Amino acid sequence: MPINQELRVGIAGLGAVGKTLARRLDDGIFGLRLAAIAVRDPAKAADTVAALKRPVPLVTLAELAEHADIVIECAPAHLVAEIAEPVLRAGKTLIVLSCGALLDRMDLVDLAREHGGQIIVPTGALLGLDAVTAAGEGTIHSVRMITRKPVRGLLGAPYLVDNNIRIEDVVEPIRVFSGSAREAAKGFPANLNVVVALALAGVGPDDTQLEIWADPELTRNTHLIEVDSDAASFSMSIQNIPTENPKTGRITAQSVLAALRKVRSPLRVGT
């Protein structure tokens, strides 16, 4: 790819994250150009698409790979494989936000390897994955995360429904889950992608431990991470302001924008 040629970016899913990405890419990011968007319901996307300064086509999920060099998955988790396969088969780059879905489809990593493509899991609504991956160059002894969310950020999660855990009327914080990142990805597929990103950066989904609390007093999605390794011990926490989707923090889209900006930047900071 010649250095002065713009990379084309495709967006799969125009929800809380996708809309922000579309607007910000349309505003301009050095070396990149918004090239196509795939949505479920074109009528719902019409206003956002019409407001773009440089119009882009609405295409199917399968067509994104023909239109883009980098495709961003910001759609429901069950669509990850459908979005990923054509992109990786074409040797292109896929940015995955619903990364919990990758745990059952690690064959997609093999597909990327086979065709020279790449899957990027951005830091998303979390922080510090640079430090976790650096610690992984040595020996990590433990990774633990405690997530506290407002009740509306957890409602409807399959784990709560299957275990008959009612949180609608709680008046004080309750712990609703304690287990591994792998179990959390199954039980909270739309709420805890962050712990899967942490697991993939560090000690894997079976050894990354998580507690989830529903807290009626909270307005932000908060994550506290504790890592112990032979190079450093560190604690990190983040309090995410929700978007129009109460499950998703504002910083999620900004994390993708930061990752995109690095693709062509002559100065790159952080790992």
Ligand X SMILES: NC(=O)C1=CN([C@@H]2O[C@H](COP(=O)(O)OP(=O)(O)OC[C@H]3O[C@@H](n4cnc5c(N)ncnc54)[C@H](OP(=O)(O)O)[C@@H]3O)[C@@H](O)[C@H]2O)C=CC1
Ligand Y SMILES: O=C([O-])CC(=O)C(=O)O
User: Restricting to residues 211-230, which ones interact with ligand Y according to CB under 6 A?
Assistant: 221
141 is catalytic: no
Site for ligand X in 202-241 (CB under 6 A): none
Nearer Cβ to ligand Y (117/202)? 202
Q: What is the CA radius of gyration of the chain?
A: 19
47 binds ligand X (CB under 6 A): no
Which helix (H) or strand (E) element contains residue 45? helix 42-50
164 is in an annotated binding site: no
Binding mask 90-129 for ligand Y (x = CB under 6 A): -----------------------------------x----
- How far does CA 117 lie from the centroid of its chain? 18
# of chain residues touching ligand X (CB under 6 A): 31
Selected binder of ligand X within 138, 245, 262, 268 (CB under 6 A)? 245
Q: How many residues of this chain bind ligand Y (CB under 6 A)?
A: 11
Q: How far apart are CA 64 and CA 58, in angstroms?
A: 9
- Nearest Cα neighbor of 190 from 214, 166, 159 is 159
- Nearest residue (CB) to ligand Y, 93 versus 123: 123
CA distance 184 to 135: 23
Residue 208 binding ligand Y, by CB under 6 A = no
**Whole-angstrom Cα distance, residue 173 to residue 191?**
17
Residue 91 engages ligand X in binding (rule: CB under 6 A): no
CA distance 47 to 231: 50
Stretch that binds ligand X, among 13-21, 85-93, 103-111, 156-164 (CB under 6 A): 13-21
- d(C-alpha 74, C-alpha 213), whole Å: 25
Return d(Cα 232, Cα 134) in angstroms, integer: 10
What is the rounded CA–CA span in Å between residue 25 and residue 22? 5
User: Minimal CA–CA distance to 131: which of 239, 255, 234?
Assistant: 234
Which residue of the set 67, 115, 141, 223 is catalytic? 223
Contact call for residues 39 and 14 (beta carbons, < 8 A): yes
Annotated binding residue 125: yes
The listed partner (ligand X, ligand Y, none) that binds 99, CB under 5 to 8 Å by sort, is ligand X
Cross-strand pairs, 225: 145, 236
Binding partner selected for residue 16 from ligand X, ligand Y, none, CB under the kind-specific 5 to 8 Å limit: ligand X
User: Are 140 and 229 contacting, i.e. CB atoms less than 8 angstroms apart?
Assistant: yes
Site for ligand Y in 230-259 (CB under 6 A): 240, 247-249, 252
Say if residues 214 and 191 touch (Cβ distance below 8 Å). no
Q: Which of residues 107-166 bind ligand X (CB under 6 A)?
A: 124-126
Active-site amino acid positions? 223
Binding-site entries = 125, 193
Binding site for ligand X (CB under 6 A): 12-18, 38-41, 44, 61, 74-77, 79, 97-99, 124-126, 190, 193-194, 197, 245, 248, 252
Q: Which residues are documented as binding site for NAD(+)? A: 125, 193
Interface contacts to ligand Y, rule CB under 6 A: 125, 191-194, 221, 240, 247-249, 252
